[in-house]
Structure 1
Amino acid sequence: MSSKQPRWTQTWLGGVRSAGVDLGYPGERLGLPAEGSGSVAGFGRRLGAIVVDWLICTWAITQGLLRIDPAHSAWVPILVLAAEYLLLAGTMGMTFGMRLFGIRIAALDGGRPGFVSVLVRTVLLCLALPALIWDRDQRGLHDRAANTVVVRL
């Protein structure tokens, strides 16, 4: 085998980029810039934002700001997180955590997503699994279903 030809295991173990296939940068297919404002937000910013939002929701619950029936307490944090996402992302295009990390949810045309898109995205985000399956543009299944993308401010 020549040194210029990739081995078949390189695509399996290291992804198609390790085999020398140029897929462009995340968001290129969507017409987004490679860097700066409007570019696709990375995993670290997105993870940081959801952790902040989750901490805010659990803080509100533990401080007694919300009265909880112990029989239903397992669902309360997720419902509070969903309410935060619907209210804030539906009106401002971002949550507290997203604002802190400099990212927002955008419709594919660059504008703010509509309520139905935010609702679909929120329901799937609360299921967690769709958010963990990404495409090469770093959009989770919840973003693909809602026709949204998370971009940097």
Structure 2
Amino acid sequence: MPGSARDAANDYPGRRFGLPENGVSSVAGFGRRLAALAIDWALAMLVAALFVGSDALTAPGFNWWVLGVWFVLTAVPVAVFGSSAGMTAVGIRVASIDSAVVIGVPRAALRTALIAVVVPPLLRDEDGRGWQDKAARTIVVRTRD
């Protein structure tokens, strides 16, 4: 019977999308997402430093270079493959909730732009989806245990 105590006891993140409770294809936790973001940001800093030069950390506007590089290094692979380098390293990917194989460039760009604003990823629903995932109609799932 819907709405019963039994349904509440069996509820878990991703259930309404038909995802498993644990293991591969289950909803990725906040820790993995944060680790992936940190890896991607570190890669963006390294690549941006190649463009800016040896005094990158003190160069004016270096933060904007990092943000721009991070945006490209995140949005493009997520649009094409479903995951960035950091996501691949920690075993997660972005999946479409509407059965599309990949989310494509417009949705990946929107999702990445909202992550750059910082607040949307912190405001999450019962499925662990931040505002960026709701806007892009996506969910982040695990690719390995």
Scaled by the length of structure 2, the TM-score of the pair is 0.83
Flag structure 1 segments of 5+ consecutive residues without an equivalent.
1-20
Q: Which residue of 1 aligns with 2:24?
A: 37
Q: Which amino acid aligns with 2:105?
A: F
Cα 1:23/1:128, change in 2 over 3 Å: farther
Alpha-carbon distance between aligned partners in 2 of 1:81 and 1:23, rounded to the nearest angstrom: 38
The reply on whether 1:139 has 2:124 as its aligned counterpart is: no
Q: Which residue of 1 aligns with 2:3?
A: none
Q: Which residue of 2 aligns with 1:101?
A: 90
- Maintained 8 Å contact 2:52/2:62: no
Q: Show the 5 A alignment for 1:112-123.
A: 112-123=102-113
Q: Which amino acid aligns with 1:40?
A: V
Flag structure 2 segments of 5+ consecutive residues without an equivalent.
1-7
SS in 1 for 2:127: coil
Alpha-carbon distance between aligned partners in 2 of 1:123 and 1:152, rounded to the nearest angstrom: 22
Alpha-carbon distance between aligned partners in 1 of 2:129 and 2:137, rounded to the nearest angstrom: 10
Alpha-carbon distance between aligned partners in 1 of 2:48 and 2:106, rounded to the nearest angstrom: 27
Cα 1:97/1:105, change in 2 over 3 Å: same
> How many residue pairs are counted as aligned between the two chains?
131
SS in 2 for 1:121: helix
Q: Which amino acid aligns with 1:150?
A: V
SS in 1 for 2:87: helix
Q: Which amino acid aligns with 2:52?
A: R
The reply on whether 1:57 has 2:44 as its aligned counterpart is: yes
Q: Which range is displaced more, 49-58 or 69-78?
A: 69-78
Q: Which residue of 1 aligns with 2:5?
A: none
Aligned-CA RMSD value? 1.8
Deviation at 1:86, TM superposition (A): 1.8
- Maintained 8 Å contact 2:48/2:66: yes
Q: Which amino acid aligns with 1:106?
A: A
Deviation at 1:23, TM superposition (A): 7.0
Alpha-carbon distance between aligned partners in 1 of 2:88 and 2:63, rounded to the nearest angstrom: 27
Q: Which amino acid aligns with 2:82?
A: G
